[in-house]
Chain A
Amino acid sequence: MLEKILTDRFRKLVRAVLTDVRNQQDLRDEKEFAKDEERIKNELLDDIVPCPANEVLDEDFTVAAVDGSGTENFGILDDVRLHLVSTSVVVLQSNTRRGTLFEPMDRAQLESELNQEQPHLDMHWHSGVRNDARDKLAASLSDIYPNKSVTDLIVHFFQDYLGPHVSSFSDIDSTDYAKHKSKLESIQGLISRAGFLTNTAVHDELRRVSEYAAARTVLISEIRPKYILLDGALSVFMHFVLKYPSMPSGFMLRELCSLSRERNVILCAVSKNHTIPFAHRIAKMAEEKFGTGSKWFCLLPSQKDPGGGLHIYSDRTYIPPRLAVPYLFSFSEDNRPSRIDFDRVWWKKNIFVRDDPAKTREKEKALFQEIEFMSRDARWYGYPVALALAHEECKLSYEDLRMAREVFADVLHELGADVRRSTPMREDYGL
């Protein structure tokens, strides 16, 4: 294809698409953004006063991070797909007293605390047969997630979504959800997107639940971190009709939020791919307001927050995520802005002060000062070091996968199966 890619025709094609995006999307967004500009600048955007490098905190704290990796194509046996999933938990101590900032907990100690090897490698299989797909996925998720009581699991979502009056499974009887109660009793029932269980959807769910399972293990351990950082967003994808999470991971996330609140842990998710339109304009605005090299954050309010949501994402239903509070932030002029989501219930209780925007801002600034402090590792400057380390620990490189596939082929051979089943069929034709 190179001879086609390096032509003027291809260049013109790219230009045409970009122009189209600008004409249709950007111009519309530009208009919307103009409506938000003043509010962002004056109310939602603020700078962070960094903690001095040699600051000794009154109370040193612990931060944990979870990340995962995997492949949905580890192996294909006819119509059965093998998913390889890895997760990693990293726990750091701020250690300002000893001067060894954000020193990782020794792996042996961590494994002992979590009662699980680190990083953790797991494998699941999945077939494309309609009901088998859901049953198998449900079995895998049940196996992965430590809380085996589904009725206990789902309550947390309804409690956060509907209010504290829903505190047990039986309380659902008094809500509009009573008619769905039978579906809410099993993991199979919670998979309401069974018709859309593509390989990618299955893999995403397996990975997400694996990460949530790891985070839950940290939460119930004796580690007692101040923060647990997840990679991604605190998004709960709702079923359009049923009005509750379309996949079990949504319920599990809410259970994590609930457990975090109980244990005074700040659960947040950091996303490099923030999907926030005009983030670069917000960054520019921050530079103009606070100067080059400033560290800043910007609240992305929801419709229910004072002043309502921003026009720029009014048609983007996934911003802010359901039951979450997102912020855009930047701790380094070298990086594009990232996004961080907090549990809305926790946020309302611990950050937001009703009718007192100054007090709310003060708390926000203290929160971001701490998050910035944990994002100064020179290798990944501006990104929380715990997450970066977790990512490094769990990632499956091309070489890792190649070796894993060799082991897979060996085992196939030991079992008397055709070793060629471990390689993509296109390889038979040299493709």
Chain B
Amino acid sequence: MKLDKNALGTPYGRVGVGNQTNLEIIGNNSDVSVGEIFMIYSSRDGHERVFFFRVLGLQNYLRRVDDVSEIAGTLMVEGESYLSGIERNMLLSLDGRMLGYAEQERGKWVFRSPRRLPDHLAFVYRPLPGTSDETVNLMLSSQIDGEVFVGDLQVGEATLDVPVMIPAEFLPMHVGIFGSTGAGKSNLMMVLIKSFIDHNLGASQSKVDSKPRMSAFCIDPHDEFAKGVDDHGIQSVVDAMDQQTRSDVIGDFYYLTTHLRATPREVKRYAREINVLWNEIQPRDLYSIMEFTPQGQLLIDSVYSRVHEGWIDHLLKMDEDSEAKAGAQKGTLRAVQRRLRFLERSSIFNDSGTSILDDVFEAAETGRILVVNTSLMSDREQFLLTTVVARTLFDLRRAAKSSGNLGDFERQGEMRLPRPFFQRVKNKARAYYGKGGTTNQTEIRDLKMLPVIQITVEEAPSILNPELMRGRSVFKDISRQGRKFNIGLLVVSQQVSVLDNVILSQMNTEINLRLGNEKEIKACIENASVNIAGFEGEFRVMARGEALLTASYRELPLPVKIPLFDTVFERDKSLYKAKGTKKKETHHL
């Protein structure tokens, strides 16, 4: 089918010199910015293709003028001089990268890496919001489809009504969100959380059972997500739902906090206080967040092998005689105790009470979103909480994956997980993991059919750094094996350069926001899943809420404008009403 070129946008210019990687476009003297995307229509040898070109640099170009400086000098010196009819010769020379090209294959648009060149002097089109959206959407379908909405395709300073999504199936292959302070990370997180909720809403309304839900354990270090930064937050989504929808999608709670009494009234109804028991913490949870000497680890391991879940209490009460009996070097116990003391002072890690971990497990396996207010936690508490939750969910899924039936699963679970915790959740776990039953002989379900679990790792460099990852970090296992168990990490960081290579190499989706300095830009470009060499200039001019989405499963680095949460909420709030009152989704840009 012949493409309607008018639907590509406004005619802008012609292709100049270049190769399949870098190209020069000569265009009219209009207000173009770095980062804009242009489309080049080509029909070489009768093959209709639309090439996508991203501007990386701009230059004023005066046609038929060899020495612009000379002219500028003359205009300065000869004050009464002019330039006759120069307007038509005032052009722009755009240097940029060929991103690839779209072509039709058996009636369907496919996108390919840049391995061809457009025609000589091919026509260049500038996408125009309201005109190009549908065609671009169609041509880039393979590059933008998915379940998790990130933002709209940005073509410079303008944005097309072309939603850019991440496929749910790639979430377990880990997602990185990189951006400096003020780059828009919190808003992006809220947009992603809303997107998870929207997906689960769709899954709950779907008649077909083949659409797994998504779960997320989202750390909220500034307590912004529930109430939002401006007018709306996740609570607005919850409030917009009717009771049935809320029950199906949100459940009894979504908000975890350290101080329930200090929680705003409307949020409190859906809140739980965080309490994790000492006996639910394993030594390697602590190894994942802080450094211990080999002697210290030896002491902890020997205590853990003797007293199991009571190891923390035991260590904290040990005296030097016991230390000597345990064969530890003098001073080791004190050092270990010093490191464990924060647990005694912690309000969320206790040696008694009702653990939140059961509820977290239930929420994760039923496809629900949890927003965790960590604003009043110490860094160490936040990191340990994330680690315990991640490790617990990971171990449960791993136990399920390595079992043939529920009987096996129970044995595996008892082996891998803290016993009191597993005893409490095993019946529920049987219900989630059993394929149509709960007897010992019941087969284990395919984990791909279970909800995708996303665990946020905030301030990631503190726990995903090379020093900690060299040891027995649970995140090393999750980053390497999470995809097998449908568990992915959502790594949020201001820096890329300090993250461990294991996590970076396992990361398949990166949402790169504005970065702080040249070092981070360089690291971001080096670690991107697709080649974005040459995009340095663009990172330097990125505005708040603008991002470059790169993914190993896509050829095209996608510039994205992340809308404000309030905007998308206002746009979609009618979705959360009961079935039958849902309005058609439209984007207002």
A contact set with B: CB distance below 8 Å: 50, 52-53, 92, 101-104, 332, 376-379, 381, 385-386, 389, 392
Verify A376–B78 contact, CB threshold 8 A: yes
CB neighbours (8 Å) of B71 from chain A are 378-379
Is there an interface contact between B85 and A378, defined as CB atoms closer than 8 Å?
Answer: no
Contacts of A92 in B (CB 8 A): 84-85
In the complex the two chains form, is B78's CB within 8 Å of A104's CB? no
Is the CB–CB distance between B83 and A50 below 8 Å?
no
Tell yes or no: B81 within 8 A of A by CB.
Answer: yes
> What are the residues of chain B within 8 A of A101 when measuring CB–CB?
82, 84
B75 nearest CB neighbor, chain A only: A378
Contact of A104 among B72, B75, B82, B84 (CB under 8 A): B84
Identify the closest chain A residue to B66 (Cβ).
A379
Give Cα distance in the complex from A392 to B71, angstroms: 16
Smallest beta-carbon distance A378→chain B, Å: 4
Nearest CB of chain A from residue B74's CB, rounded to whole Å: 4
Could you say which of A102, A332, A381 has the most chain B C-beta atoms within 10 Å of its C-beta? Answer: A381
* From A53, A377, A379, residue with most partner B Cβ within 10 Å: A379
Interface of B is mostly: loop
Are B85 and A376 in touch, CB under 8 angstroms? no
- B79 engages A103 (CB within 8 Å): no
User: Would you give the shortest CB distance from A45 to chain B, in whole angstroms?
Assistant: 22
Determine whether the beta carbon of B79 is less than 8 Å from that of A53.
Answer: yes
Q: Let me know if B65 is at the binding interface, CB within 8 A.
A: yes
Also in contact, A389 and B85, with CB within 8 A (given A50-B80, A52-B80): yes
* B317 / chain A contacts, CB cutoff of 8 Å: none
Q: Does B207 count as interface, using CB distance less than 8 angstroms?
A: no
Closest-CB distance, B377 to chain A (whole angstroms): 67
Interface residue B64 (Cβ < 8 Å from any Cβ of A) = yes
| Contacting pair B80 A379 (CB below 8 A) | no
Alpha-carbon distance A103/B84, docked complex (angstroms) = 5
A378, B82: Cβ atoms closer than 8 Å: yes
CB contact list, B44-96 vs A, under 8 A? 64-65, 71-72, 74-75, 78-85, 88
Please name the residue on chain A nearest to B74 by beta carbon: A378
| Chain B min CB distance to A90 (Å) | 9
Q: How far is the CB of A227 from chain B (nearest CB, A)?
A: 14
Number of A-B contacts (CB under 8 A): 46
When chains A and B are docked, how far (Å) is the Cα of A101 from the Cα of B75?
Answer: 14
How far apart are the CA atoms of A386 and B459 in the complex, in Å? Answer: 66
The smallest C-beta distance from B297 to any residue of chain A, in angstroms, reads 74
**What's the minimum C-beta distance from B75 to chain A, rounded to whole angstroms?**
5
Is there contact, CB below 8 Å, between B64 and A377? Answer: no
A101: nearest residue on chain B (CB-CB)? Answer: B82
CB distance from A337 to the nearest CB of B (A): 17
The answer on a CB contact under 8 Å between B84 and A389 is yes
Judging by beta carbons under 8 Å apart, are B74 and A381 in contact? yes
A contact residues around B82 at 8 Å (CB): 53, 101-102, 376-378
Closest-by-CB residue of B relative to A388 is B84
Residues of A within 8 A of B83 (CB): 377-379
A90, closest chain B residue (CB): B85
By size class, the interface of chain B is 10 to 19
- Further 15 A-B residue pairs, CB within 8 A, beyond A376-B81, A386-B84: A50-B80, A92-B85, A103-B84, A103-B85, A376-B78, A377-B83, A377-B84, A378-B71, A378-B72, A378-B74, A378-B82, A378-B83, A379-B65, A381-B74, A381-B78
What's the minimum C-beta distance from B321 to chain A, rounded to whole angstroms?
94
- Taking CB atoms, residues of chain A closer than 8 Å to B80 are 50, 52-53, 376
CB < 8 Å neighbour of A102 from B64, B72, B79, B85: B85
Contact sample, A vs B, 9 pairs, CB 8 Å cutoff: A53-B82, A102-B82, A102-B84, A377-B81, A377-B83, A378-B74, A378-B75, A378-B82, A381-B78
| A57 CB → nearest B CB, Å | 14
Q: Which 7 A-B pairs rank lowest in CB-CB distance, beginning with the nearest?
A: A53-B80, A104-B85, A102-B84, A378-B74, A378-B81, A101-B82, A385-B84
CB of B29, distance to nearest CB on chain A (Å): 15
A378 engages B64 (CB within 8 Å): no
Bound-state Cα–Cα, A60 to B165, Å: 60
With a cutoff of 8 Å between Cβ atoms, the chain A residues found around residue B81 in the complex are 376-378, 381
Q: In this complex, what residue of A is CB-closest to B62?
A: A379
In this complex, the member of B79, B80, B84 whose beta carbon has the largest number of chain A beta carbons within 10 angstroms is: B84
Give chain B nearest CB distance to A376 CB in angstroms: 5
Q: Give bound CA distance, A376 to B65, whole Å.
A: 16
Minimum Cβ distance to chain A for residue B535 (Å): 34
What residues of chain B lie closer than 8 Å to A392, measured between beta carbons?
A: 64
Within 8 A of A (CB), among B106-161: none
Chain B residues whose C-beta falls within 8 Å of the C-beta of A379 in the assembled complex: 65, 71, 74, 83
- How many angstroms from the CA of A263 to the CA of B355 in the assembled complex? 103
> Which residues does chain B contribute within 8 Å of A378, judged by CB atoms?
71-72, 74-75, 78, 81-83
Chain B: CB-nearest residue to A107: B88
A393 (CB) vs chain B CBs: closest residue: B64
Cβ of B85: which chain A residues have Cβ within 8 Å of it? 92, 102-104, 389
What residues of chain B lie closer than 8 Å to A52, measured between beta carbons? 80
CB-nearest residue of chain B to A392: B64
Shortest C-beta distance, A367 to chain B (Å), equals 19
Residues of B within 8 A of A50 (CB): 80
B65 (CB) vs chain A CBs: closest residue = A379
Min C-beta distance of A334 to chain B, whole Å? 9
Distance A389 CA – B64 CA, assembled complex (angstroms) = 10
Q: Which of B481-539 contact A (CB under 8 A)?
A: none
A379 to B68, alpha carbons, bound, how many Å? 9
* A385 closest partner in B (C-beta): B84
A147 to chain B, nearest CB (A): 31
Measured CA separation A50–B83 after assembly (Å) = 17
B390 to chain A, nearest CB (A): 65
Q: Shortest Cβ distance from B16 into chain A, in angstroms?
A: 14
Contacts of B74 in A (CB 8 A): 378-379, 381
Which residues of chain A have C-beta atoms less than 8 A from B75's C-beta?
378
Q: How far is the CB of A71 from chain B (nearest CB, A)?
A: 20
Measured CA separation A171–B82 after assembly (Å): 50
Complex: how many Å from CA A368 to CA B80? Answer: 16
CB distance from A347 to the nearest CB of B (A): 27
Give the residues in chain B near A332, CB-CB below 8 Å.
78
CB distance from A315 to the nearest CB of B (A): 38
The interface residues of chain B lying within 8 Å CB-to-CB of A385 are: 84
What is the bound-complex CA distance between A154 and B80, given in angstroms? 44
Question: Which residues of the other chain, A, contact B65 by a CB distance below 8 angstroms?
Answer: 379
Query: How close is B295's CB to chain A, nearest CB, in angstroms?
Result: 78
CA distance A392 to B88 in the complex (A): 14
- A104 to B72: give the CA distance in the assembly, Å: 21
Task: Point out the residues of chain B lying under 8 angstroms from A53, CB to CB.
Answer: 79-80, 82
Closest residue on chain B to residue A54 by CB atoms: B80
Q: Give B78's nearest chain A residue, CB to CB.
A: A381
Task: List the A side residues contacting B84 at CB < 8 Å.
Answer: 92, 101-104, 377, 385-386, 389
Complex Cα–Cα for A317 and B79 (A): 41
CA of A50 to CA of B79, assembled, Å: 12
Interface residues of B in 179-198 (CB under 8 A from A): none
A165 and B526 alpha carbons, distance in the complex (Å):
89
Alpha-carbon distance between A234 and B400 when the two chains are bound, in angstroms: 100
* CA A84 to CA B72, docked complex, whole Å: 36
